[in-house]
């Protein structure tokens, strides 16, 4: 049985087959779907809270799939491996749960770069993540946001060094590129208001 059944009249989500990954939420053109325990209001509040405050240093927001990818980053912490303080992590059911409006919200409120890390064992595998992020990069270019400001990888639980290396190299890249200009952030924020 499929998690989502589409007919000519409506769309039904089968709660038994649903894994709670949230991939369907940003794909819904009418925003009629929300995800329990990872609602849009909750996710937007997290993004806003994490990006709040002024800083001279770049701010990088990392969305980590909450099981394998987040577990891998946690494993790095348990082994006392440090990573750049410019990266802030938000665990999500799947990086597919994060849509364009979430990334725009992050950029409008202080983020200078966004990372997506998905678990290798997730239903949203490498090709899905890459396709999802590439489509976002195309949309972000319309706001003058360089594609190099968004990156994605998949990882396994023991590959925490892969995550730490990405954080470090991405932080170096964003530091060289510089912070997003306030005028650009304002333009993004205005576009978000217009989309409501």
**Structural domain boundaries in the chain:** 38-194
Average pLDDT value over all residues in the chain: 89
Closest CA to 111 of 46, 157, 14: 46
Asked whether the beta carbons of 56 and 141 are under 8 A apart, the reply is no
Average pLDDT on 24-44 reads: 80
The more confidently predicted of residues 145 and 31 is 145
Q: Which class in CATH covers the domain with range 38-194?
A: alpha beta
Q: pTM for this one?
A: 0.89
pLDDT of 194 strictly over 90: no
**Cα dihedral value 68, 79, 115, 30, nearest 10:** 40
**Predicted confidence (pLDDT) per residue in 52-95, tens digit:** 887 889 999 999 999 999 999 999 988 888 889 999 999 999 99
Alpha-carbon distance 136 to 6, whole Å?
Answer: 25
The confidence band for 3, taking pLDDT boundaries of 50, 70 and 90, is low
């Amino acid at each position: 049985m499929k998690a989502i059944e589409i007919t000519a009249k409506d769309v039904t989500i089968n709660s038994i087959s649903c894994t709670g990954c949230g991939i369907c939420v940003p794909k819904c053109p009418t925003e009629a779907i929300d995800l329990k325990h990872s609602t849009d209001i909750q996710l937007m509040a997290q993004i806003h809270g994490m990006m709040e405050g002024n800083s001279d240093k770049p701010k990088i927001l990392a969305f980590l799939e909450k099981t394998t990818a987040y577990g891998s980053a946690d494993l790095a912490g348990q082994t006392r491996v440090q990573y750049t303080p410019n990266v802030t992590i938000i665990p999500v059911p799947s990086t597919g749960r994060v849509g364009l409006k979430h990334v725009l919200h992050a950029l409008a409120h202080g983020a200078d770069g966004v990372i997506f890390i998905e678990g290798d064992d997730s239903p949203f595998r490498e090709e899905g993540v890459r396709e999802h992020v590439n489509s976002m990069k195309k949309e972000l270019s319309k706001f003058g946001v360089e594609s190099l400001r968004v990156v994605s990888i998949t990882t396994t639980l023991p590959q925490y060094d892969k995550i730490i290396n990405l954080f470090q190299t991405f932080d170096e890249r964003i530091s060289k590129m510089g912070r997003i200009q306030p005028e650009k952030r304002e333009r993004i924020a205005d576009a978000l208001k217009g989309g409501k």
